[in-house]
Amino acid sequence: MAKNLLIVESPAKAKTIEGYLGKDFTVKSSYGHIRDLVKSEDAIDINNNFNQRYEVPADKKQVVSELKKLAKEADMVWLASDEDREGEAISWHLFETLGLKEPDTRRIVFHEITKPAILKAIENPRKINYNLVNAQQARRVLDRLVGFELSPVLWKKVKPSLSAGRVQSVAVRLIVEREREVNKFKAEAAFKVVAIFGQGRNAFKAELPERFSQQADAEKFLQDCVKALFEIRSLETRPTKRSPAAPFTTSTLQQEASRKLGYSVSRTMSIAQKLYESGYITYMRTDSVNLSDTALNAAANEITSAYGDKYHQQRKYKTKSAGAQEAHEAIRPTYFDKHTIDGDGAEKRLYELIWKRAIASQMSEAQFEKTVAKISISTRKEELVANGEVMKFDGFLKVYLESHDDEDDNQADGENAILPPLSKGQQLDLQEMTATERFSRPPARYTEASLVKKLEELGIGRPSTYAPTISTIQNRGYVVKEEREGRQRNFRVLTLKGNDITKEEKTENTGAERGKLFPTDIGAVVNDFLVQHFNGIVDFNFTASVEKEFDEIAQGLKDWTKMIRTFYDPFHKDVANTIETAEKATGERELGVHPESGKKVSVRIGRYGPFVQVGENANDESEEKPLYASLRTGQSIETISLEDALELFKLPKVVGEYEGKIMKVAIGRFGPYISHNSAFVSLPKEIDPLDVTEEQAIELIEAKRKKDAEKLIKTFDEDPDVKILNGRWGPYIEFGKLNVKIPKDKEPASLTYEECKALADATPATTKKGRFGKAAPAKAAAPAAKKAPAKKKAPAKKK
């Protein structure tokens, strides 16, 4: 038995380290945290110094018992979790849970998984840093208190099962506020003048720095240019350079993989996880841009041998993010001489991206010669400007060019074009000049990756939580990732050619979005509610300010329970006050009055989602009941117009007759559908329910019948409502409204009616939904309830 047990957080890391240390060491992993606060309300004892109750979650029991056993057998246990707040806490939880004793325990840390780093760490053990542990406890307790007190407020005031938290609520806020900026944005049009001089290979573009807001001014300018002389007034050439970006962190990897490969952040992370487990890359959840000395040398060797000495330049990067804890290296290939790897296409592409970025980060800068030519116009005082750029040395650009979110902006302007040989005083031949109407652009909606970037800038969230946070806000229905169609927009183009000026009107598509994050109505309502009642929590600086206090705790300058007390008491007061006084939040908005009846038209969120209401709530029997209609996908209570709202009442609508029965189009909870003779057909997305023709409807009904017939295996004379069908997951019996799976040992085609009935009777009706969600399972059917009888709920809080 090995004398030493060394525990790290990640199993892949454990494997590597075991190779470095030899027989005297057993290296195991804790798989992250091994304990957490209990789920129940009594996890934190508010009145007793915020004492915590921890438990080992079910999925960690096995790991813990194995570690316990090994720890008992070992002479010395080395706690080698990461050197950051969470890592220190993991060591402490291990110490407590495994029942370790101080003389036989060492705490060690390293920032890179290299043999010298590990050996050095072992020579320099220390004790658990309880200040750091306290800082983590403060973080953990604060997040629990915030999350588990705020969420229930939402259940009461907005809708059950919603959630709020220090991180997710700010993420939603960013998206809601950006959407509002986009919606209130008014595009401003201005004419941009571009001239083309010279012929053929010597042709080049020049631009007028000023823009004209009025068409008349642009026209006048072109008019003035008809007989004008153009001359190069000044010519300036200067060297410029561009430097490579730092190697990847989690967030920059997510951004580049999104821009260059189109991966979602969760896809990027799961591919990176595979690469890590295969030993191709270093750890992928990191906020550090640092490379180990071993890596610097390996990169230097690779660059020198592959590209030559002049392409290499050693660089050490410093992190720019304030909250960075830098427990690991930057993300880099484990072996720089491996330009590509075995694996599927996605893995290969991500690996190559990581390899290029890391290699480029150690390469020389690219050198350019930038030329600016200013061109005077004899009839005007303005000058045209031509920019040219010639690359003199490619440097790092040989392998990698970083992309940016706002890429397409400059590209079209010929910013980096090559200019022909020019000289000062040279007369130029105008070939063509255009004045094109261009529009200012609204701020860009967030993509998953650009949201991560923003969160990182605000110091909110950690490398391990970016991807899960993005999923959470989508799963809660606060945010949707969507494509939206743009709309056509006209713009004017004036062209001067020869001595003639022509005008034309062109159209372009604008506002189309792909893979952008949009707030839902519920997201907006929840956000507004939180901003109104808990501004301090959803403040963009809240995390930064508590982080500062956590740092003070980590340095031993502050008592963590005092810090939490100072936060909690007023916060809890707000919670209690809000529960008592706040109205239910529905996002209600009045759109106006119905043009014919004069009744009030309003929108709000109801039990089944956003809807329009015409007429007041009936509080008296003599009054008429109001009319309701659900909003369609893509519509929102915040932006819908009165006209669009009234459109919704044009459904349900009879679109024709078929086989003697009417066909009706309506919108249901699951979207638009056609009903016919008590059968239902969903409308495909691309068909507008208001435009369905009789022919289309018949076609759809027939198509549905055909599809159903393909699924049908057998029917019965005894009861037409009983069928055997082939479903997505195999054959099943449709017994009236109940679907029953057919056991594997039965042949579906040979089942008799009686057998079907028996199977149906044996199936508990748990799939049926009651009015308030899932129907309770029949009491007698569940004799052995696993759960202990529910605890008595704490009596209602005193008022």
Q: Which residues are catalytic?
A: 283
Cβ(459)–Cβ(516) below 8 Å: no
Q: What's 3's DSSP letter?
A: S
Q: Which of residues 420-449 bind DNA (CB under 7 A)?
A: none
Taking the complex as a whole, the smallest distance from the CB of residue 14 to DNA amounts, in Å, to 9
Interface with DNA (CB under 7 A), residue from 297, 465, 474, 763: 465
Sign of the C-alpha dihedral computed for residues 769, 772, 773 and 774 taken in this order? negative
Give me 391's structure tokens. Answer: 């690359």
Planar angle of CA 444, 243, 289, nearest 5 degrees: 75
Interface with DNA (CB under 7 A), residue from 16, 25, 33, 603: 33
Place of tokens 């571009």: 194
For DNA, how many residues bind (rule: CB under 7 A)?
Answer: 81
- Applying CB under 7 A, does 277 fall inside the site for DNA? yes
User: Cα separation of 505 and 437, whole Å?
Assistant: 10
Taking the complex as a whole, the smallest distance from the CB of residue 568 to DNA amounts, in Å, to 14
Taking the complex as a whole, the smallest distance from the CB of residue 563 to DNA amounts, in Å, to 16
Nearer CB in complex with DNA: 4/675: 675
Taking the complex as a whole, the smallest distance from the CB of residue 381 to DNA amounts, in Å, to 57
Nearer CB in complex with DNA: 207/326: 326
Nearer CB in complex with DNA: 421/795: 795
User: Cα separation of 610 and 587, whole Å?
Assistant: 9
Nearer CB in complex with DNA: 313/696: 696
Taking the complex as a whole, the smallest distance from the CB of residue 468 to DNA amounts, in Å, to 7
User: Cα separation of 779 and 2, whole Å?
Assistant: 54
User: Cα separation of 434 and 497, whole Å?
Assistant: 9
Taking the complex as a whole, the smallest distance from the CB of residue 180 to DNA amounts, in Å, to 22
Q: Write the burial class of residue 508 (CB in 10 Å: 0-12 exposed, 13-18 middle, 19+ buried).
A: exposed
Q: Report which residue type is found at 791.
A: K
Q: What is the 3-state secondary structure (H, E, C) of 93-108?
A: HHHHHCCCCHHHEEEC
Q: Which of residues 68-127 bind DNA (CB under 7 A)?
A: 82, 84-86, 90
Q: Which of residues 46-65 bind DNA (CB under 7 A)?
A: 59
Q: What is the 3-state secondary structure (H, E, C) of 645-667?
A: HHHHHHCCEEEEEECCEEEEEEE
- Applying CB under 7 A, does 773 fall inside the site for DNA? yes
Interface with DNA (CB under 7 A), residue from 4, 18, 32, 231: 32
Q: Report which residue type is found at 159.
A: K
Taking the complex as a whole, the smallest distance from the CB of residue 708 to DNA amounts, in Å, to 12
Stretch that binds DNA, among 376-384, 519-527, 558-566, 661-669 (CB under 7 A): 661-669
Residue 159, SS3 per DSSP = coil
- Applying CB under 7 A, does 464 fall inside the site for DNA? yes
Q: Which of residues 148-187 bind DNA (CB under 7 A)?
A: 148, 151-152, 155, 160-161, 163-169
For residue 79, the cross-strand partners are: 7, 107
User: Cα separation of 373 and 395, whole Å?
Assistant: 26
Taking the complex as a whole, the smallest distance from the CB of residue 408 to DNA amounts, in Å, to 33
Stretch that binds DNA, among 96-104, 144-152, 294-302, 331-339 (CB under 7 A): 144-152
Nearer CB in complex with DNA: 302/329: 329
Omega before residue 652 within 30° of 0, cis? yes
Phi, psi of 224 (to 5 degrees): -65, -25
- Applying CB under 7 A, does 453 fall inside the site for DNA? no
Nearer CB in complex with DNA: 83/302: 83
Cβ(633)–Cβ(621) below 8 Å: no
Q: Which of residues 345-364 bind DNA (CB under 7 A)?
A: none
Locate all alpha helices (DSSP H) within 308-398, ordered by sequence: 345-360
Cβ(335)–Cβ(294) below 8 Å: no
Taking the complex as a whole, the smallest distance from the CB of residue 61 to DNA amounts, in Å, to 13
Give 464-502 as a DSSP string: TTHHHHHHHHHHTTSEEEEEE--EEEEEEEEEEETTEEE
Residue 263, SS3 per DSSP = coil
- Applying CB under 7 A, does 273 fall inside the site for DNA? yes
Sign of the C-alpha dihedral computed for residues 307, 308, 314 and 320 taken in this order? negative
User: Cα separation of 448 and 461, whole Å?
Assistant: 14
- What b/e sequence results for 553-587 when a residue is b if at least 16 CB atoms lie within 10 Å of its CB, and e otherwise? bbeeebebbebbeebbeebeebbeebeeeeeebbb
Sign of the C-alpha dihedral computed for residues 104, 110, 114 and 119 taken in this order? negative
Taking the complex as a whole, the smallest distance from the CB of residue 621 to DNA amounts, in Å, to 13
x/- letters, 724..743, toward DNA (CB under 7 A):
-----x-------x------
x/- letters, 560..599, toward DNA (CB under 7 A):
----------------------------------------
Nearer CB in complex with DNA: 186/769: 769
Taking the complex as a whole, the smallest distance from the CB of residue 707 to DNA amounts, in Å, to 13
Task: Report CA 408 to chain centroid distance, whole Å.
Answer: 22
- Applying CB under 7 A, does 207 fall inside the site for DNA? no
Nearer CB in complex with DNA: 143/528: 143
x/- letters, 294..333, toward DNA (CB under 7 A):
-------------------------------x--------
Taking the complex as a whole, the smallest distance from the CB of residue 108 to DNA amounts, in Å, to 16
Interface with DNA (CB under 7 A), residue from 22, 23, 39, 622: 39
For residue 592, the cross-strand partners are: 601
Interhelix angle for 466-475 vs 265-277, to 10°? 140
Stretch that binds DNA, among 127-135, 258-266, 413-421, 628-636 (CB under 7 A): 628-636
Cβ(642)–Cβ(591) below 8 Å: yes
Alpha-carbon dihedral angle through residues 565, 567, 570, 574, given to the nearest 10 degrees? -130
- Applying CB under 7 A, does 685 fall inside the site for DNA? no
Q: Which of residues 472-491 bind DNA (CB under 7 A)?
A: 472, 476
Interface with DNA (CB under 7 A), residue from 666, 687, 713, 760: 666
User: Cα separation of 521 and 638, whole Å?
Assistant: 7
Interface with DNA (CB under 7 A), residue from 18, 36, 217, 383: 36
Nearer CB in complex with DNA: 160/486: 160
- Provide the 10 A C-beta neighbour count for residue 26: 18
Stretch that binds DNA, among 100-108, 497-505, 666-674, 697-705 (CB under 7 A): 666-674
User: Cα separation of 343 and 354, whole Å?
Assistant: 15
Q: Which of residues 597-626 bind DNA (CB under 7 A)?
A: 606-609, 611, 617
Taking the complex as a whole, the smallest distance from the CB of residue 614 to DNA amounts, in Å, to 11
Stretch that binds DNA, among 7-15, 173-181, 423-431, 690-698 (CB under 7 A): 7-15
- Provide the 10 A C-beta neighbour count for residue 641: 11
Q: What's 418's DSSP letter?
A: P
Nearer CB in complex with DNA: 643/708: 708
Q: Which residues contact 548 (CB under 8 A, 6 or more apart)?
A: none
CA end-to-end span of the chain: 62
Nearer CB in complex with DNA: 166/398: 166
Nearer CB in complex with DNA: 179/326: 326
Nearer CB in complex with DNA: 170/375: 170
